[in-house]
C-alpha cells in the first residue's frame, strides 16, 4: 500500500464506530491506516459538538494541520460528524480553515468515497451537508478497531429533545435497523471471535423494529458461543420491567446498566424535558436491584443547568448518595445554540458551576471507591483487552465495566480469565491470575 489515512475521533461510542465505518470506506479505496497525520495522504476529523470543549478540541487540532498542509498541498483534510452537520458551523469552519478540502455532515458519511473522488477532480472545497436522514445504509463494512469488543448500531437519531441537547438536531429523528440484519451481524461477529458485543443507539430502548428492544436483546443473547452483551444508552423513561426481566434471565447480558439521570432535582428535570422525576428514577433502579442485586448502575450528570439553585444541586448530591453509582460521567452544562435551554434565563455563572462540579466529582468518587473496596478478596471474571506497557500489566474489564489489572507474560487479548482481587484503587482493581476460563 502506498496511500495512508489517519482518523481523529471526538465524542461518544457512536462516533468511534462511525470512524470504523470511515476506515472501512478508506481501506476499500486502497488506503492503509497510519499513526500520525504527517504520514497520511488523507486526514479525517470525525467531530462532536455535544459540549463547547469538544468543538474547541477539534478546532485546535484542525488549526495545527495548517503548516503541514502548506508543505504537502496534495494531502486531503476532511472534517465530518456532528459539528459540521450544523450549516452555520460548517460555513464558519470553511472560513476559519480554508485549507480544509472536504466538509461533510453526519448523514453524508456513506458518500465519503464520492466526496474524495470529487475533491481529487476539482480544486475547490467540497461541502456536503444533507439535512434529511436518508435510508439506513447497510453496505458500509466497518474496519473494526476495538477487538475483543464489537460495536453494533441498532438505531440512529433521537426524538427526545432534552432541552440542553444538540443531538436531535445533528443526528435527526429515530430510525431503527432491521432486527434480522442486527442479529445476523452479531452472529457473524461472534463466529469471527468477538467476545463482547455492545449495541449502540442514542436511546436503545426506544428501538422499534419487528421486535421490541428487550426481545431483540433476548434473541441476541440466545446466539451460541461465549460472549458478553452490553447496550447503551438507555433513557430512564423507557426503561421497562420487561427489560429488567430479560437482563435477569440471560447470563450473557452484563449486569451493568448505563442510565443517565442528569439531575436529582425535579424542577431541573422538568426544565430539561426529561419526562421523569427523581422518585421515578429511584423506583426503576430499586426494581432493577431487586431482580439483579449486583447490577452496576452508571450515569451521566449535568451541573449548572439554567436556573439550577443550591437546593437543586443538593438534590443531585442526595440522589448520588441514594443510588451509589458504580461510576458517573459528570459535566458542566454547556450552552448549545439552537437548543431550548440556550434561550432560558438564569444561566448559571461559570464559577458556581465549577464549584458544584468539584463537589459532585468528590461525591461520585467516594461512592466508586467504597464500592471498589468491596471487591478485595473476590475472584472476578475479566475479559482481557490490552497490555498496559507503562505498568507492565494486562488490562481487562469485569461484567460491571470495572477495569481489572494483573501481571502476565503472554498476550491474553480476547481471553476470559479469573483474577483474585488484591487491591482496589478508585475505579480500577488489581489482582492475581487464578485461571483462564
Ligand atoms: N452540556 C453538558 N452536558 C451535556 N450532555 C448533553 N448535552 C450537554 C450539554 N449541552 C451530556 C448528557 C448526556 C451526555 C452524553 O452528555 O449528560 O447524557
Ligand atoms: Fe440528547 Fe436527551 Fe436524546 Fe440523550 S435522550 S441524545 S440527552 S436529546
Q: Which residues does 133 contact at the CB level (< 8 Å), separation at least 6?
A: 107, 156, 157, 172, 173, 175
Closest CA to 235 of 275, 287, 288, 278: 275
What's the pLDDT at 390? 78
Q: Which atom of ligand 1 is nearest to the CA of 164?
A: 10
Q: 329 CB less than 6 Å from ligand 2?
A: no
Q: How far is the CA of 437 from the centre of ligand 1 (A)?
A: 38
Model confidence at 46, in pLDDT bands (50, 70, 90)? very high
Model confidence at 426, in pLDDT bands (50, 70, 90)? confident
Q: Which atom of ligand 1 is nearest to the CA of 301?
A: 17
Model confidence at 422, in pLDDT bands (50, 70, 90)? very high
| CATH class (in words) of the domain with range 379-436 | mainly beta
Averaged pLDDT of the chain: 95
Q: 179 CB less than 6 Å from ligand 2?
A: no
175-225: pLDDT as tens digits = 999 999 999 999 999 999 999 999 999 999 899 999 999 999 999 999 999
**For 256-373, CATH number?**
3.30.750.200
**Average pLDDT over every residue of 7-29:** 96
**Average pLDDT over every residue of 260-280:** 98
At 69, list the grid cell: 498542509
Percentage of the chain beyond pLDDT 90 is: 90
Q: Does residue 134 carry a pLDDT above 90?
A: no
Strands (E), 241-359: 256-258, 296-303, 327-332
Question: What are the extents of the domains in the chain?
Answer: 3-128, 146-254, 256-373, 379-436
Closest CA to 328 of 294, 357, 290: 357
Q: How far apart are CA 358 and CA 299, in angstroms?
A: 17
Q: How far is the CA of 227 from the centre of ligand 2 (A)?
A: 29
Q: Which atom of ligand 1 is nearest to the CA of 335?
A: 10
| CATH class (in words) of the domain with range 146-254 | alpha beta
What's the pLDDT at 1? 64
Q: Does residue 256 carry a pLDDT above 90?
A: yes
What's the pLDDT at 123? 84
* 3-128 to CATH, choices 3.40.50.12160, 3.30.70.1140, 3.40.50.880, 3.20.20.70: 3.40.50.12160
Model confidence at 138, in pLDDT bands (50, 70, 90)? confident
Q: How far is the CA of 48 from the centre of ligand 2 (A)?
A: 14
Q: Does residue 388 carry a pLDDT above 90?
A: no
Q: Identical fold at 146-254 and 256-373?
A: yes
Q: 258 CB less than 6 Å from ligand 2?
A: no
Amino acid at each position: 500500500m502506498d496511500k495512508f489515512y489517519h482518523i481523529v475521533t471526538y465524542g461518544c461510542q457512536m462516533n468511534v464506530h462511525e470512524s470504523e465505518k470511515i476506515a472501512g470506506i478508506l481501506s476499500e479505496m486502497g488506503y492503509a491506516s497510519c499513526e500520525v497525520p504527517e504520514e497520511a495522504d488523507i486526514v479525517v476529523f470525525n467531530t462532536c459538538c455535544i459540549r463547547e470543549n469538544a468543538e474547541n478540541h477539534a478546532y485546535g487540532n484542525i488549526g495545527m494541520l495548517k503548516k503541514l498542509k502548506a508543505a504537502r498541498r496534495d494531502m486531503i483534510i476532511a472534517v465530518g460528524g456532528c459539528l459540521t452537520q450544523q450549516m452555520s458551523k460548517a460555513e464558519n469552519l470553511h472560513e476559519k480553515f480554508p485549507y480544509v478540502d472536504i466538509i461533510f455532515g453526519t448523514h453524508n458519511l456513506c458518500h465519503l468515497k464520492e466526496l474524495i473522488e470529487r475533491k481529487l477532480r476539482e480544486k475547490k472545497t467540497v461541502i456536503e451537508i444533507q439535512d434529511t436522514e436518508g435510508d439506513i445504509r447497510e453496505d458500509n463494512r466497518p474496519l473494526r478497531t476495538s477487538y475483543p469488543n464489537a460495536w453494533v448500531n441498532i438505531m440512529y437519531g433521537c426524538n427526545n429533545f432534552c432541552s440542553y441537547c444538540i443531538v436531535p438536531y445533528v443526528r435527526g429523528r429515530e430510525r431503527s435497523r432491521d432486527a434480522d440484519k442486527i442479529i445476523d451481524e452479531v452472529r457473524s461477529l461472534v463466529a469471527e471471535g468477538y467476545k463482547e458485543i455492545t449495541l449502540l443507539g442514542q436511546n436503545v430502548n426506544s428501538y422499534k423494529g419487528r421486535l421490541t428492544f428487550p426481545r431483540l436483546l433476548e434473541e441476541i443473547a440466545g446466539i451460541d458461543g461465549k460472549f458478553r452483551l452490553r447496550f447503551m444508552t438507555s433513557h430512564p423513561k423507557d426503561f421497562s420491567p420487561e427489560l429488567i426481566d430479560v437482563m435477569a434471565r440471560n447470563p450473557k447480558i452484563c449486569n451493568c446498566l448505563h442510565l443517565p439521570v442528569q439531575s436529582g432535582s425535579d424542577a431541573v428535570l422538568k426544565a430539561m424535558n426529561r419526562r421523569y422525576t427523581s422518585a421515578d428514577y429511584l423506583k426503576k433502579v430499586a426494581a432493577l436491584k431487586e431482580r439483579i442485586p449486583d447490577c452496576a448502575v452508571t450515569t451521566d450528570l449535568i451541573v449548572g443547568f439554567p436556573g439550577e439553585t443550591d437546593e437543586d444541586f443538593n438534590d443531585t448530591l442526595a440522589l448520588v448518595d441514594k443510588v451509589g453509582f458504580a461510576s458517573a460521567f459528570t459535566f458542566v452544562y454547556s450552552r448549545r445554540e439552537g437548543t431550548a435551554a440556550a434561550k432560558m434565563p438564569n444561566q448559571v455563572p461559570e464559577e458556581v458551576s465549577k464549584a458544584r462540579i468539584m463537589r459532585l466529582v468528590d461525591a461520585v468518587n467516594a461512592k466508586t471507591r467504597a464500592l471498589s473496596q468491596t471487591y478485595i478478596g473476590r475472584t472476578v471474571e475479566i475479559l482481557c483487552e490490552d497490555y498496559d506497557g507503562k505498568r507492565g500489566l494486562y488490562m481487562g474489564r469485569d461484567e460491571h465495566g470495572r477495569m481489572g489489572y494483573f501481571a502476565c507474560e503472554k498476550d491474553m487479548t480476547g481471553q476470559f480469565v479469573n483474577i483474585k482481587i488484591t487491591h482496589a484503587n478508585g475505579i480500577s482493581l488489581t489482582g492475581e491470575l487464578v485461571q483462564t476460563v
